[in-house]
Structure 1
Amino acid sequence: MNFPSGFIPPARGPRPGARRPQKPGRFSWLRRPRLPRLRVGGVWQGLRTALTAHPRRAIGFAVLAIACVLLVAMNSLPVALAPVAPRLALAVSPGHPSSLLQIARDDRREMTALLHPPPADAKAAAPAGRSGAASGSSATQAGGDADADAGPDAETPEDPDAAEPATTPGADLQHLRADIRDRARAVLRSAPLTAEAYRLLGEAEETPDEVRTAMLNAFALSRREPVATFTLLIEAYERRAFADALEKADALLRNTPALNSYTSSYLTPMLSDPDARAALVDVLKQKPPWRTAFLQSLGDKVSSDDGVELFLAMKQAGSPASSAELTPYLLARLQNAKDPQGSYNVWLQLLSDEELARLLPVNNADFAADPSGTPFDWRITRGRNVNVRIVRLKDEPEARAIRTDFGVGRVRFGGVSQVVFLRPGSYMFEGQQFGTMSAKRGMVWEVRCFPKSNLLGQSSQLFGSRRGWQGFEFPFTVPPTGCQTQIIRLLHDSRSASEEYASGDIQFSKIRVNPAAADGANGESYLPAGR
């Protein structure tokens, strides 16, 4: 490039005094990045410039900021202070509903302590190291002063009125009731849809009508108020308004499971009253979530036939009890009440016409239907490290079998059983087995009297058959007396812990119980008498 004479081109490179850019070093990524510095002086200078240029606008923004701070302080701050310091929250925001509710709750606890004082032994067990002020306040709340526990030898004051407390428990109770009522009404004036305020008002009212009105308002606003709901349940039960009582009981059973035992104690007496039982059936027909638990609890009340009447009424109403709902009652009557005949009769009355047509002395012997779990069908008891289920046969898809799969190691077979009613006589128990069970002791089918457990007959130890289905049988005899009820059981014939080790699987199918040839020749049925 040609330059004019006398022209000196600028030198290439950084200007004099400029910092040269640093080349990225080997560990440059380890250096902390420089944070920008907050220049407070620049911010303050900007504010001064804004105030000088636009004084009215700056004052307006300042007033708006102060208003926002006050708004937050009067609304959000009381909400945060209400649970821990409700009176301070009221000082910040008078009439705040949450603060008033918290103070009313504290007053309610004091009122409950006055209505239900702790027993004398609980007072004696109080810690001895509490402060004198706490002791004095406790004595005052109990209706005495700090010298009440000084004993008969304590010095008696000259003024007889000095030994009496300033206030009596009755006066404290009335004062607390009035405070709770005032605060609950103040809450309702600012938040009229607060169910808890109505409930607190109902607890502080003195006349039954006022209590009922307040509790009804609380229940109408929220069914999750257990105190209001339980109060209305008791009131409806006492005036024999069973439909109303069931509505309140339904709300409690749905929303407050911790009170289920108390709530059910009001439903159980309704079984003996025809009108109340009809109302209960109408509720159970809707299949509420607590229906199964309630029906299963009837097993504890088998001393009367009230449970049977309820089950029959449910069947007539088109909503019969399921096997899971009925089984606890049948088992309680069978085992606890030692009444197998009565339990069997209840079960027969609750069967449908189709089930009665399929009724046999040994029900579901071919495992064609899934076991219902009732004691008069196959009942599979859960074990440990073992799986029992009903399966279809590979070579006969229409036939089914009961299969037991054993895990690795020690197993605990729960058992398969069925209670039957066979007439006195001789019988032959037959079946088929298949599988690859490996154990010291095999599986055994047996027939015993129930509940006396006298052994009537037993099969040999069965380990399955690897080559195909193999039959087995054994005879047994039902005596003419003392054995009206029998039980058929499948069990693992282990006698000690070392014999509980098993592996593999075993299946049983085509179980039959037929009269022996001598007993069946006359053509008599082997059904139980009267069935």
Structure 2
Amino acid sequence: MAESARAREEVVAIAGAAAVANPLENRFLSSMALSKLYEGEAGEAVELAKAALRLNQTDRLAASIVAASHVQAFDYEGAVSVVSRALQRNPSTGRLMVELFSALTANEEGREAVRKELARHPVWAAPAIYALARQGNGYQLVYLLTSGYERDPEEGYGQVDRIVARQFTKHGQFRLGYRHFLQLLPAGKKVGYVFNSNFADEPSGMPWDWNFTNTTAATVKRVDGDDPHVEVIFRDKPVLRVGFSSYIAVPPGQLRFRASARALDLRSSKPLEFQIDCVDPRRSAIATLELPSGSYDWKDFEVEFDNTGLGCRFGNLFLTGRSVKGSFRTRYGGKVEVRSIELLRADY
């Protein structure tokens, strides 16, 4: 929008003439509304924006002006209704309305209005919440918003849940992210320090659940059935980190790190290990658990470590090789299968 008053007057004049010539074109009215808003004529701007919305309810610019007026009048449901209609055609533009969503979710009345709309699974939810979560105070707003969101136990995790959870971990908000994750779980769901430790459930896509990713060095997949487990097949290539990981909670005290695994012709000159890196506070390799080479049936492997002095609260658990980056001297081949990974208090 032009900065000078004279330029804005020209915009209004041109848009006004165009609106007369093209009475069914909403964009001229919304342009006039924005110009009036710049001039401090909020009342006239809102009326022009409402007129634009009567022609086209998906006019995002007009909707922003009208919705903001609803927020100022504490009519949060009215604001959400206007926004939701505006974003139906192009939901990705919800990310461009992040300031409006910040204002909408700044108090509990506004958050409750947004929750009601989220329960209807609007198409704009993911981009809008993603953008909101990236703001300076977005973690707190999103946490407060989603923590009061009632859901069907059969609904599972939605895209919004995954986006929010990843933002928490990406920006180091592990305590808040873990709390958010626990609140999303169905009532009565058993939760250990390692979630879904026996791979009984298909991974949810949340950071606090398992992440399986194929790489050029190894394929990773969950095998369902009476004895669910994870199968890792190595491709006779160097291995650094395998795509087999999860964020976990780490309690204080003496701990046991345990895995149940079997192998078929697993071979390498260097160890294959499960490793826990502490992420809060940052510290690498607070525990490692080696899976030996060779062929063997199901066996339990276990190590103990003391977290008392480390003070680790949350960690990242992953499968890793010990190849040197850029070198093909240490390669991994064969297959390993894992049916459980647990972190337990040593006194239990």
Shift of 1:334: 4.7
Shift of 1:418: 3.6
Which of 4, 14, 22 is the aligned partner of 1:187?
22
Please give the alpha-carbon distance, in whole angstroms, between the structure 2 residues aligned to 1:273 and 1:408. 56
- Corresponding residue of 1:336: 171
Per-residue displacement from partner, 1:137-179 (whole Å, max 9, x unpaired)?
Answer: xxxxxxxxxxxxxxxxxxxxxxxxxxxxxxxx84x86576445
Shift of 1:408: 6.6
Which of 295, 302, 305 is the aligned partner of 1:477?
305
Q: Can you give the 5+ residue segments of structure 2 that lack an aligned partner in the other structure?
A: none
Please give the alpha-carbon distance, in whole angstroms, between the structure 2 residues aligned to 1:204 and 1:480. 62
Higher helix share: 1
Does the CA-based 8 Å contact 1:437-1:502 persist in structure 2? yes
Change (3 A) 1:438 1:223: farther
Please give the alpha-carbon distance, in whole angstroms, between the structure 2 residues aligned to 1:194 and 1:324. 35
Please give the alpha-carbon distance, in whole angstroms, between the structure 1 residues aligned to 2:217 and 2:250. 32
Amino acid at match of 2:197: A
Shift of 1:460: 3.0
Shift of 1:197: 5.3
Does the CA-based 8 Å contact 1:311-1:320 persist in structure 2? no
Amino acid at match of 1:360: G
Q: Secondary structure at the match of 1:459?
A: strand
Q: Secondary structure at the match of 2:290?
A: coil
1:105-504 counterparts in 2 under 5 A? 115-116=2-3, 170=6, 177-178=12-13, 180-188=15-23, 193-196=24-27, 198-199=29-30, 209-256=43-90, 259-301=93-135, 305-315=140-150, 322=157, 324-334=159-169, 336-337=171-172, 340-355=174-189, 358-380=190-212, 383-392=215-224, 397-407=225-235, 409=237, 413-427=242-256, 429-451=258-280, 452-453=282-283, 455-463=285-293, 465=295, 469-485=297-313, 487=315, 488-499=317-328, 501-504=331-334
Does the CA-based 8 Å contact 1:324-1:373 persist in structure 2? no
Give RMSD over aligned pairs: 3.7
Shift of 1:389: 1.3
Q: Which range is displaced more, 216-225 or 326-335? A: 326-335
Per-residue displacement from partner, 1:366-397 (whole Å, max 9, x unpaired)?
Answer: 211112233433233564453211013xxxx4
Does the CA-based 8 Å contact 2:257-2:302 persist in structure 1? yes
Does the CA-based 8 Å contact 2:267-2:293 persist in structure 1? yes
Shift of 1:229: 2.8
Shift of 1:424: 1.0
Shift of 1:331: 4.7
Change (3 A) 1:223 1:439: farther
Please give the alpha-carbon distance, in whole angstroms, between the structure 1 residues aligned to 2:96 and 2:293. 52
Amino acid at match of 2:150: K
Q: Secondary structure at the match of 2:198?
A: coil
Does the CA-based 8 Å contact 1:253-1:263 persist in structure 2? no
Q: Secondary structure at the match of 1:255?
A: coil
Amino acid at match of 1:226: R
Shift of 1:477: 1.8
Q: Can you give the 5+ residue segments of structure 1 that lack an aligned partner in the other structure?
A: 1-111, 118-168, 521-531
Does the CA-based 8 Å contact 2:243-2:319 persist in structure 1? no
Shift of 1:453: 2.5
Please give the alpha-carbon distance, in whole angstroms, between the structure 1 residues aligned to 2:142 and 2:134. 10
TM-score if structure 1 supplies the norm length?
Answer: 0.54
Per-residue displacement from partner, 1:293-322 (whole Å, max 9, x unpaired)?
Answer: 333445435856432221122127989882
Does the CA-based 8 Å contact 1:430-1:472 persist in structure 2? yes
The one of the two structures with greater contact order (alpha-carbon pairs below 8 A, sep at least 6) is 2
Q: Secondary structure at the match of 1:469?
A: strand
- Corresponding residue of 1:155: none
Please give the alpha-carbon distance, in whole angstroms, between the structure 2 residues aligned to 1:244 and 1:202. 19
Higher strand share: 2
Does the CA-based 8 Å contact 2:265-2:293 persist in structure 1? yes
Does the CA-based 8 Å contact 1:299-1:330 persist in structure 2? no
Change (3 A) 1:219 1:236: same
Please give the alpha-carbon distance, in whole angstroms, between the structure 2 residues aligned to 1:222 and 1:389. 48
Does the CA-based 8 Å contact 1:445-1:458 persist in structure 2? yes
Please give the alpha-carbon distance, in whole angstroms, between the structure 1 residues aligned to 2:278 and 2:198. 22
Q: Secondary structure at the match of 1:267?
A: helix
Please give the alpha-carbon distance, in whole angstroms, between the structure 2 residues aligned to 1:458 and 1:503. 20
Q: Secondary structure at the match of 2:161?
A: helix
